[in-house]
Chains A and B, each alone.
Chain A
Amino acid sequence: MSKASRKENRERLKQERLKEQRRAKRNKLLTVMAVALGVVALIVGGGYFIITSQANSTGNLVAERLSGWDKQLPPQTLQEDGSTVLAVEDASAPLVEVYADYQCSHCADFEEANGELLNMLAAQGKAVLQLRPVSIFAAGGPPAGTNSLRAGAAARAAADYGKFVEYNQLLFANQPNGTAEGYSADELIAWGEELGITDAAFAERVRSEAGVVDAFAEYQQSGDQGDDSFLAGSYVEQILAATNAVKDRYEGPNAFGGTPSVYINGELYTGGIDNPIDLADTIEAASPGEPDTRPQSTDDNSPSPSPTANETTEQ
């Protein structure tokens, strides 16, 4: 064998060894990546399974609790501040205040998850439910702020017909996107009709409140300068006042920090909005309480188009 061919041979062996090394390295890398992918798949897949089964079991528990209820709402009583109390007559049960904004998406989620269960507790005499609409979005101006105010004022108008709770539900179910004009006067009137509020005065009220909302937006744009007498006597004024009032009502650990907020006998409920069972259990374990508001008397000179209709559902 020549020196040259021996050298060639050695070179070839070296090349093969290198190739073998490279292949081993590549295999190792592929194995590591496969294992890493497996870890990701295991965590994501396993976690997804746990989360969905937990969500299902919560849904089932809620459905189970609701199953015995005939969906009949207890009497709803309009309060002087524009809020509505839902309770059986002479109820001795914890006071549950719910502060919500019609443009707040978490509030719509809260309503969807907890609304029926709370209504049931009120119907069974296990809670005095006080629904207190506010408008934290109002300060931000249109479109979210004006949507929020139009809806809040319309809900207050629906309360004049004893349909606040049902209307409240409809509003949240039809909540618009906060980046565009929504809750139009036409829609708000149509939803009232859906609930049997066919009185022309309701439509008139909703339209005039929408006008007040527009004037308020202009007023805000001018830096809150000038004459705000256009607000006087409107439901827009009432919801703005309710929004300011809650900020003063609670302080310290119970301070109002946003919507939705639930207070049980004046104590902020911090259990989140996704656990209706926990909320219901907390309410059932609480002692009886009373609203700090008074029912709106049916014979005062309120701007309501039909003040006597306040407690129609009590019959």
Chain B
Amino acid sequence: MSTDTEQSPPNATSRWEHLRPWVSLVARIALAGVLGYAGYLKAIEPQESVRSVAAYELFSDGMNQFIGYTLPLFEIALALLLIIGLATRYVAALSALLMAVFIAGIISAWARGLTIDCGCFSSGGQVAAGETAYGVDIVRDIGFMLLAGIVMVWPRSPFALDGFLGLYPDSGGEKSDE
């Protein structure tokens, strides 16, 4: 924080501490929405999902099918855990990791000169040479990663099972114990 806050510590700090859980809540729900939507679109078309994975030309047929089937389900599971707010910090960390894997996949497709749709939402596969959008896809995934980062750093937010179970007594609460 800047010197500004040092001059008026109680106000600015408490205002941020007041706001923080709500920022975290918004990030949590937004991330859940993104993962849930992406997962749902792919899970209802499993064969399309397998083709999207195959388009990256990274794995064997059997592996493509396994990933194509399970990845959307994994996304849905993470989304559900984020919505109910269970093990929030760790689920957010996994989501960030997943985004990193997606970004790596897109970069590898880009570097190898593949002309595919990332298959991030709905079905991917080959597209015409001029229709790739790798840059946009990567920037978007970085945005999602930032959401996950917010939830990871400040996992405590309202309407979360974690809070109900007292899993993340915030820093302020811990101090008052002593």
- Which A residues contact B (CB, under 8 angstroms)? 28-29, 32-33, 35-36, 39-40, 42-44, 47-48, 51-52, 54-55, 104-106, 109, 113, 136-137, 139-141, 144, 177-179, 272-274
Contact = CB atoms under 8 A, between A and B. Distances in A.
Interface size class of B (residues with CB under 8 A): 35 or more
B103 interface: no
Given A137-B128, A139-B128, A47 B51 contact: no
B45 interface: yes
A105 B69 contact: no
A105 B77 contact: no
28 contacts: A32-B87, A32-B167, A33-B87, A36-B81, A36-B87, A40-B74, A44-B74, A48-B70, A48-B73, A51-B43, A51-B69, A105-B54, A105-B125, A105-B126, A106-B51, A106-B125, A137-B128, A139-B129, A140-B128, A140-B129, A141-B129, A144-B115, A177-B57, A178-B126, A179-B57, A273-B47, A274-B45, A274-B48
Interface string B31-74: 00000000000010111100100110100000000000110011
Q: Which 8 pairs, one residue from A and one from B, show the smallest C-beta to C-beta distance?
A: A140-B129, A36-B87, A47-B73, A274-B47, A43-B77, A40-B77, A44-B73, A51-B46
Contacts of B129: 139-141, 144
Nearest to A113: B47
SS of A interface (majority): helix
Interface of B: 43, 45-48, 51, 54-55, 57, 69-70, 73-74, 76-78, 80-81, 86-87, 90-91, 112-115, 125-126, 128-130, 162, 165-167
